[in-house]
Structure 1
């Protein structure tokens, strides 16, 4: 595909909108599709500058009907979070422009700066990355915005959980009973709400991943106010499915070692961890596909279901 063809792949109204938010003398010279997201279409835009150099921006557009229906809320949350995070110790993209209602673009869109680094989903180096992820999440939870984001939402109910075919039905029935209870009391924190390896960028030095460091956190569209346990539980579930149940259990320990504070009672920790694990049961295929696209071809839907079952079982054994 030629540079002209790549740029033409950006829809005409969106292309005009982006161009209006560039500096004088700048132009879009190339566009590249970014992979790994579930809900949005992502493109990296290479911008030519008057001095002959380039800089990169990222265009995020919600295009499928379900996402479009939620886009105004999601993009407003993300824009607000990016403004809040500017100048803090949490590295995130900078907001350039946002069109949450598609008033100017074909679809609701957000334009932001591009961060260096890449997502790392391989098993190699996981023992180094887990403490880094934990420290980063502690830093996010330490933020105290003047205006709190909306309260967290959990859509999963006891009736919507999808028990894997490979699962021990009795264990899952007990886990489902856990989320029938009212949510435990909690001290509110600023939540990313989708903090997991797919939304964290690392600078790594091949061939060794031992020197990895975090260069930024992306996808702030679900920013919320709620219990730290919920963010920890979400990352734990993703680590369990990517790298095995033991790493899901390990993340809570790493979070506390980094100075984070979780619920004191085991029953309260169990509630949040089980709630997130059971929520994943409803979207295993959606979760697994981007991982396979990123090279983790062994993570078939069946393999991820088996890991989820093992993780839920481990949670019930450890905290139940």
Structure 2
């Protein structure tokens, strides 16, 4: 899956998009939206009949790996966006979907554009983590009339990639954990890719994207930046992996991303914030460990892709090696606390 070089929008796809517009509207601009791994995403600026403009977002799967799975992913996303309309969880509105590329050059989904931006920098994280936790609790509280399909595990004990120089004993113990049968759980509506890259904030775009090298963010701090006042979530995007399963899975995924973006302690802090917001996780430590460690082990298989996406989004210091080191530290910490 290589999305470093985004493909141009084909005339075939543009023709399909034009058929979804209101009479008299036309596309007057396109902008590539970076930060994703599995899809090419663009903002399309549409001139309206009244002389104004509105924005849409075009999401297309272009590489062979994603194209093979696009019908499932895009159908699930379209269903989720339809379900979320009118709930308290703000998500894009579905405009049209072509999951099999019957009309487009590649499988594609067209949706409304939400205000806000993703925020991946360290500054203001103390404020954003509780907001992320409360939003995830709200997602898990949804009770759709028709449940999405059961979650997929995404990794096995035999496919984990242990980083070079990692704590071999900790990783071996973690891998043994996921060899066990999955614990019983109470099902919840899952986003399944809930993490900072898929959450939009009203934060101003002029905040620094990287903490200075001499001030690493390896854990929570008591200082709250003044610019964090009034920060709020404006929406959640990328619902292609919507599933039914344990809340622990979504919490573990966001925890892993926070640990790799900002330092291992932030992963553990998110699980705490989720419970503080009223969310419920597995009661037994052994069950919680099973779900919590499964996600970083899955991440081990795609560290290079994740690190590159974050660098493209402005986190230049997050080299593959830097992310591997944080992943090792996080897995080791989980095994020390819960193992």
The answer to whether the superposition gives a TM-score over 0.5 is yes
How far apart, in 1, do the equivalents of 2:317 and 2:63 lie?
28
Check if 1:306 corresponds to 2:325. Answer: yes
Q: Is the 8 A contact 1:10 1:31 kept in 2?
A: no
Specify which structure has the higher proportion of strand: 1
How far apart, in 2, do the equivalents of 1:38 and 1:210 lie?
31
Check if 1:138 corresponds to 2:157. Answer: no
Q: What does residue 173 of structure 1 align with? A: 172
1:79-125: per-residue Cα shift (whole Å, max 9, x none)? Answer: 00000000000000000000000000010000000000000000000
Q: What does residue 61 of structure 1 align with? A: 60
Two-structure CA RMSD over aligned residues (Å): 1.0
Q: What does residue 202 of structure 1 align with? A: 201
How far apart, in 2, do the equivalents of 1:306 and 1:211 lie?
34
Output aligned runs, 1:279-294, within 5 Å. 279-294=298-313
Of 210, 222, 233, 2:252 maps to 233
Q: What does residue 163 of structure 1 align with? A: 162
Q: What does residue 220 of structure 1 align with? A: 239
How far apart, in 2, do the equivalents of 1:226 and 1:45 lie?
34
Output aligned runs, 1:233-312, within 5 Å. 233-312=252-331
Q: In structure 2, list runs of 5 or more residues that go unmatched.
A: 1-6, 208-226
SS at 1:211's partner residue?
coil
Q: What does residue 88 of structure 1 align with? A: 87
How far apart, in 2, do the equivalents of 1:274 and 1:57 lie?
37
> CA offset at residue 315 of structure 1?
0.3
How far apart, in 2, do the equivalents of 1:35 and 1:277 lie?
23
1:189-227: per-residue Cα shift (whole Å, max 9, x none)? Answer: 000000000000000146623331100000000000000
For normalisation by structure 1, the TM-score amounts to: 0.96
How far apart, in 2, do the equivalents of 1:209 and 1:302 lie?
30
How far apart, in 2, do the equivalents of 1:313 and 1:10 lie?
44
How far apart, in 2, do the equivalents of 1:48 and 1:155 lie?
42
Q: How many residues align?
A: 313
SS at 2:301's partner residue?
coil
For normalisation by structure 2, the TM-score amounts to: 0.91
How far apart, in 2, do the equivalents of 1:127 and 1:314 lie?
20
How far apart, in 2, do the equivalents of 1:132 and 1:162 lie?
32
Change (3 A) 1:313 1:9: closer
SS at 1:159's partner residue?
coil
